[in-house]
Amino acid sequence: MATTEWAHTTVMLKEAVEALDVQAEATYVDTTFGRGGHAKRILQQLSPKGQLIVFDKDPQAIAVAQSMNDSRVQVRHQGFSALSQLPSHSVAGVLMDLGVSSPQIDNPERGFSFRQDGPLDMRMDTSQGQSVHEWLGEAKTDQIAQVIRDYGEERFANGIAKAIVARRDLGTLPDTTLSMAELVATVVKTREAGQNPATRTFQAFRIFINRELEELERALQASLQVLQTGGRLVVISFHSLEDRIVKQFIAQHAKTAYDRRTPFATPAPLKLRDLGRYRPSPEEVKANPRSRSAIMRVAERMSEQGGV
């Protein structure tokens, strides 16, 4: 049976790689390979002595990465929190392109989208873990509501959770994306113009089932360990929950920290220098509407003595 290769347009391709300030013989990490847009552009700037380490949970993305057959590329089928396994101060740049790739969204068999009907799955790594449908088959009402509220910022979370459990009790728990979206729509009566009533709920399920925010927090901490002095951290996020974590992380490590218990002691050294926040150009948003919510934040690793 032939497989369809779903198209993917890399967001902020030029800007992200430029922000890494690639040095030809250094080592870089692409923590979310996807279909390799950023990775291929980084490789164009590396010499034969350079190295690129790529991570991805998705078996299909890993297959694409392995097919590159480039001796400079090390492929790791892991979530990007496994960044912590790399040697300390061993890389010159870490790129994190968060969220879901277009091939994941557009392939109905992955269950990420309600645009086409497919199994209610949403796992980025389909080789392990529970699908959304399996989790909903056993979760308590208050657990479902909390996930929808915390990860979807959905004000109708309680009603949606009750409706899901009521259907489960009847033995008719939705097991496809369209049937779940239809159920959510019976509860969510008002929504922003142009937005499907199930958008926030689907976002919440996806983030929860893949532990996306926890993975991001662990990966950000790991970046401090693996980045060399002067190394760059580049993170592209696509919704406020992700961006808030990245923003707060950079701010925490880019400001002088004083111990209030010992006010005359030397302050803790800065670990990062904030290099700014960027958005896609109007031209990119017009050409690729999925880029419109992207926010890129860039920081530079400072030495333990507070210099670069």
Per-residue pLDDT reduced to its tens digit, 198-225: 999 999 999 999 999 999 999 999 999 9
Quick one: which of 221, 234, 220 has its CA closest to 275? 234
Boundary-marking domain end, from 193, 209, 225: 209
Say how far apart CA 247 and CA 227 lie, in whole Å.
18
Of the chain, the percentage scoring pLDDT greater than 90 comes to 71
Say how far apart CA 217 and CA 276 lie, in whole Å.
19
DSSP SS3 for 178: helix
| The model's pTM | 0.87
Q: Are both 198 and 233 inside the same structural domain?
A: no
Domain region containing 141 = 126-209
Q: What is the pLDDT of residues 231-280, one digit of tens each?
A: 999 999 998 999 999 999 999 999 865 556 665 555 566 899 999 999 99
Boundary-marking domain end, from 178, 209, 240: 209
Residue 96 carries which side chain, given as an amino acid letter? M
Domain presence at residue 5:
no
| Average pLDDT of the residues of the chain | 89
Q: Count of domains in the chain?
A: 2
Q: Please write down the long-range contacts of 104-110, taking CB distance under 8 Å and 24 or more positions apart.
A: 104/58, 106/6, 106/7, 107/4, 107/6, 108/177
Q: Are both 285 and 217 inside the same structural domain?
A: yes
pLDDT at 148: 97
Confidence of residue 1 (pLDDT cuts 50, 70, 90): very low
Q: What is the CATH number of the domain that holds 200?
A: 1.10.150.170
Q: What is the pLDDT of residues 78-117, one digit of tens each?
A: 988 999 999 999 999 999 999 776 666 767 778 778 888 9
The answer to whether 143 touches 154, Cβ cutoff 8 Å, is no
Q: What is the pLDDT of residues 27-83, one digit of tens each?
A: 999 999 988 899 999 999 999 999 999 999 988 889 999 999 899 999 999 988 999
Q: Are both 243 and 229 inside the same structural domain?
A: yes
Longest dimension (CA), the chain: 70
Boundary-marking domain end, from 171, 186, 209: 209
Quick one: which of 53, 34, 33, 81 has its CA closest to 213? 81
Q: What is the pLDDT of residues 168-205, one digit of tens each?
A: 999 999 999 999 999 999 999 877 777 889 999 999 99
User: What are the C-alpha distances in Å from 50 to residues 70, 103, 179, 263, 290?
Assistant: 11, 29, 49, 45, 32
